[in-house]
Amino acid sequence: MSGTDSDGVAPARPLSHPAYGELREVTPFASVILCENPGIMELDGTNTWILRAPGHPDCVVVDPGPRKHKKHVKKVVAAGGHVVLTLITHRHHDHIGAIGALHKRTGAPVRAKRPSLCRGARPLVDREVIKAAGLRITVLDTPGHTGDSTSFLVECDGKRAMITGDTILGSGTTVLDPRDGGLRDYLNSLNRLIVECSGPMESATALLPGHGPDHPDLVPVARYYKQHREERIDQIRAVLDEMGVSPRDAKPMKIVRRVYSDVDKTLWPAARMSVKAQLEYLRSE
């Protein structure tokens, strides 16, 4: 059998992650444009999600991306068409830097947990339901990565997807920002996502992360994340016992050298952030 269509032209292959600057459909109601801002913390880059029911003229944009990426904003606007709302998962610059540029181009209100990030609209409220672009979007507080981390459950025609920002990534594990994140909150957020996405449903809830590839089912990824965190805590407890040091007196980088010895040293500064959050968790036990 030939690998061409009736006109003798090979059909285009579906896009796969990473596809910089391309609108890639993930579900019938959620597509992504990957910004070309790869880095240690950003993995391949920041995912900007464009949401709309099939055939609907409006769209919702989630996380417009970092500053100084004008081409990315232009592509988001061109792909989105009539943007009626921008939603923000959390305060980190690689997700919010382009808020001003997108708002200027579209005039669409911007909503986030933090009031300072909003434009022409009120802050997000846990459990509120947003109806836009033919979709039902439920706001879920999922702090831990940062204090304002928010996830969005998107529903359309019996199908579901969860936009998680950096709470759950498409690959690797996330860093807990010790400035306002915390392990106790993070574990509670993972449990919340597992509960929200489990139970009797027609299909699994797709995972749409802030970085990395999407996954067809959030639940096994969230369970892995929870298991990984619990294992790290046990490792830190063991190292503290070996060193004869309490969580209050421990130096985070000394813990990193022991617990993350198998991790590339370029990632140690990020690991230090998570260790600080983990030590704070152990101090409060």
Q: How many CB atoms lie within 10 A of CB 40?
A: 11
The answer to whether 136 and 156 are in contact (CB under 8 A) is yes
Give one word for 165, left, alpha or beta, with left for phi > 0 and alpha for psi -120 to 50.
left
Q: At what angle do helices 183-196 and 218-243 cross, to 10 degrees?
A: 160
Type of residue at 272: R
Task: For residue 154, list its beta bridge partners.
Answer: 137, 161
At 8 the pLDDT is 53
At 202 the pLDDT is 65
Residue 27 has pLDDT above 60, yes or no: yes
In Å, how far are 27, 140, 221, 226 from 214, measured between CA atoms? 10, 19, 11, 18
User: Which tens digits make up the pLDDT trace of 40-75?
Assistant: 888 999 999 999 999 999 999 999 999 989 999 999
The answer to whether 75 and 109 are in contact (CB under 8 A) is no
User: Which tens digits make up the pLDDT trace of 237-271?
Assistant: 999 999 999 999 999 999 999 998 888 888 888 88
**Rounded to whole angstroms, how far apart are CA atoms 115 and 245?**
41
The secondary structure of 109-120 as a DSSP string is -EE-SSGGG-BS
At 185 the pLDDT is 96
Q: Which of 6-15, 42-51, 114-123, 160-169 is the least confident region?
A: 6-15
Whole-number average pLDDT of the chain: 92
User: Which tens digits make up the pLDDT trace of 131-144?
Assistant: 999 999 999 999 99
**Helix and strand element counts for the chain (H, E):** 7, 11
Task: For residue 163, list its beta bridge partners.
Answer: 152, 208
Type of residue at 71: K
The answer to whether 62 and 111 are in contact (CB under 8 A) is no
Q: How far is CA 124 from the centre of its chain?
A: 17
Q: How many CB atoms lie within 10 A of CB 104?
A: 10
User: Which tens digits make up the pLDDT trace of 87-110?
Assistant: 999 999 999 999 999 999 999 999
